Structure 1
Amino acid sequence: MKKLYIKQKVLSFNEKFTVKDQQGNDAYYVEGSLMKIPKTFSISNTAGTEVALITKKVFSFLPKFYVEVHGQEVVTINKEFSFFKARYSIDAASIEVQGNWWDMDFEVFQYGEVVGKVNKEWFTWGDSYKIQVLNEEMETIIIALVIAIDYVKASQAAASSAAT
């Protein structure tokens, strides 16, 4: 089992952060597009090669995000219409997320087997997540899922605070 940690800075204007391994070494670099349409997040390995791309669909009634890994779209995250509580669905062939993913405490399944676990670490400055990868072939997909879901949550929170 491999453990990875994502720590986002609270006041990061350039939307850059790293994914660290269990020893504290850089494992991946994440860079968000600043003031660019469509909104994207690029995930690169330590050699600088892009391994995943998260893109927000520009023209849609409800928010929709696409996650590409190694150039192939593998996951779509859709906001569902709801009056009371924000609801999102994750569409992917053979990938399923179970648990309380709105609070970032969930497991990722592939073909019914757990391939990863994600937990938000509380009482930290900024958003921090612990990722346990049980199937290393799914590592990039799990990291991309965490970043995409976190961005969905942040977008929802920003929209809610702007409305009040």
Structure 2
Amino acid sequence: MRYEVRERLFAVGEDYWIEDEQGHKAFLVDGKAMRLRDTFELKGPDGRVLIDIHEKMFALRDTMVIERPWSDSGSAAGEALAKIKRKRLSLLRNHYRVELIDGTELDVSGKILDREFVVEYDGEMLAHISRRWLRVRDTYGVDVIREDADPALIIAVAVCVIHLAEKERGED
């Protein structure tokens, strides 16, 4: 399933819709301004919060945390689903590690600031993020390749790595 993100509105404190292939509103990214840490909520079309995304405070390296605000598996609500941080430095490509709560690790690599990167698990591509498919300026696509992958989680990962890469660029 492919999703379209119009990032010209992307900023903490501003909201933007992510549309599916048919042009229907699939997710709302709700940026929360006036917070001590960078915070976003990923909401469904009905307005229900699906995922909370926030910066981890007091970490040695910039880290984003993805949480579900509710529990459907008997785990505690608000428990972290994943932590995302920069993996290693490279001149041409950015690498981020996504540590899922179950111990699984995803690798995010590519040209994050150019919106050309992939999300992989154990060498298998889960999603491809690219600007090349779309002709609209300041828009990129999130193509969730595997049918068993959680689109909300993949989109949350994309939001996090882009935010971390832009924050890092701003600090240089």
Work out whether the TM-score is over 0.5.
yes
Question: In which range does the TM-score fall when normalised by the shorter chain?
Answer: 0.7 to 0.9
**Structural RMSD (CA):** 3.0
The equivalent position to 2:106 in structure 1, one of 96, 115, 138, is 96
**TM-score of the aligned structures, taking structure 2 as reference length:** 0.74
> What is the deviation of 1:66?
0.9
In the other structure, the counterpart of 2:83 is 76
CA distance 1:95–1:118, change in 2 (3 Å): farther
CA distance 1:81–1:60, change in 2 (3 Å): farther
Identity %, equivalent residues: 17
> What is the deviation of 1:124?
5.0
**Equivalents in 2 of 1:159, 1:77: separation in Å?**
18
> What is the deviation of 1:85?
8.6
> Whose RCO is larger (CA < 8 A, sep 6+)?
1
In the other structure, the counterpart of 2:54 is 55
**Given residue 155 of structure 1, which amino acid in structure 2 is its aligned partner?**
K
Question: After alignment, is 73-82 or 20-29 more displaced?
Answer: 73-82
Asked if the contact 2:15–2:28 (Cα under 8 Å) also holds between the matched residues in 1, the reply is yes
Asked if the contact 2:12–2:39 (Cα under 8 Å) also holds between the matched residues in 1, the reply is no
Q: Deviations over 1:66-91 (max 9, x none)?
A: 12245442321224686x89965313
The equivalent position to 2:167 in structure 1, one of 142, 152, 155, is 155
**Equivalents in 2 of 1:23, 1:138: separation in Å?**
19
Unaligned runs of 5+ in 2: 71-77
The equivalent position to 1:143 in structure 2, one of 130, 139, 155, is 155
Provide the secondary structure at the position in 2 that maps to 1:155: helix
Unaligned runs of 5+ in 1: none
**Equivalents in 2 of 1:154, 1:56: separation in Å?**
14
**TM-score of the aligned structures, taking structure 1 as reference length:** 0.77
